[in-house]
Structure 1
């Protein structure tokens, strides 16, 4: 009886508001394939983010005079994503951040919750959304990353606090070099609760490209004494190359 009533309500609502998934599939606001995509196991993507790479060691050729033959890198912080920013996942990201599809947030938060818990690793970390430019928030009519961070807070039990800060230019349309030079300037009283509790931070964002935005957050927060444990994002512009076993 309940299933029949649900079906009738869905059909009735579909007459008033077309039920179309961001991928284009009709009949549901979120089709089964896209729901499964948002339920994917989060993976670490920081190795593919150029701006997050730090030189950890230099390799030299053995001999009387050591000659450098390469360097080893380590990541500034772990970053977890549900997948690559392409195909249906890209459609979902754009529908969520620019298309007013706030109903996607619960499904996104369910998918990212395990990543948040992995980064927190038992600590009472603070969830902090990467701040958007004011013009972007006004255009969208909401702060989409803050909404996601608040939903993740309810799902994981970790506290949530907004970051008040001035940011550099948006990343869209900028070159790779320009993306690596973005800066974030926290307000004088930014993250008052986080600083009072001396809590580490987990950053929440929509897409990571080079990692420049996350790096600017890490550096800006370090300037006010706040440590960043890691970040979770919905999608990554590049995925790490699969490791091969020799």
Structure 2
């Protein structure tokens, strides 16, 4: 992280904390007033790590299904800048990473999917890296955006793949074994593109990890 990135993230977190003191806060999971995350919603974020494979064959470990409370809390972090929610979301990420590393026999690096410049300017922080830090996980920024992409929301499976195709490049990977980490996985198009870029640079991609995975029935219609 550059010094300017670090300063921007500190300022963004400070502003978010200041607004939280000045403005009413509702539970991110259920809208209960005067609490950032109620006990019931915090319990709903208890990790339930699972693994499945993308159509490409890449194994993906997730900490939670992306639905209900988990979906609402992740959206509050990403869309509303409620950075305090990164800590409860770090538990399912930590569980998914533990399951992944146990299954593949260890890795040399945890690589976050890159944040676009536009998203970073809008939020002031990188979602995946923030949650990983709260989980006590060191990531290595080996992936960089190679071009702009459109918003994936509302796109079908093939449109998502076309949208992200060739959108990343990797650096400094060597022949290391890596896991790629993202916040939410739906069709897996982004993880597949990340794996492609890393392999092109010589890395051995053992799999992907995410905080939450869209349930299979929802993926089939997206």
Q: CA deviation at 1:85?
A: 2.3
Q: Which moved more, 1:15-24 or 1:126-135?
A: 15-24
Pick the aligned partner of 1:21 from 27, 39, 53. 27
Residue matched to 2:101: 120
Higher percent of residues as helix: 2
User: What secondary structure does 1:22 align onto?
Assistant: coil
Residue matched to 2:133: 150
Q: Which runs of 5+ in 2 are unaligned?
A: 1-19
Q: CA deviation at 1:214?
A: 0.6
Measured in 2, the distance between the counterparts of 1:184 and 1:170 equals 15
Pick the aligned partner of 1:183 from 165, 174, 177. 165
Pick the aligned partner of 1:164 from 116, 123, 144. 144
Pick the aligned partner of 2:68 from 83, 87, 94. 87
Contact 1:161 1:191 in 2 (8 A): no
Contact 1:208 1:236 in 2 (8 A): yes
**Aligned pair 1:43/2:26, yes or no?**
no
Q: Which runs of 5+ in 1 are unaligned?
A: 1-13, 47-51, 55-75, 242-246
Measured in 1, the distance between the counterparts of 2:180 and 2:130 equals 13
Structural RMSD (CA): 2.6
TM (normalized to structure 2)? Answer: 0.76
Residue matched to 1:141: 124
Larger Rg over CA atoms: 1
Residue matched to 1:7: none
Q: Deviations over 1:121-175 (max 9, x none)?
A: 24243111111221122112221112223333xx25xx42112232543312323
Q: Deviations over 1:167-207 (max 9, x none)?
A: 543312323221122224544xx442x42xx4322111121
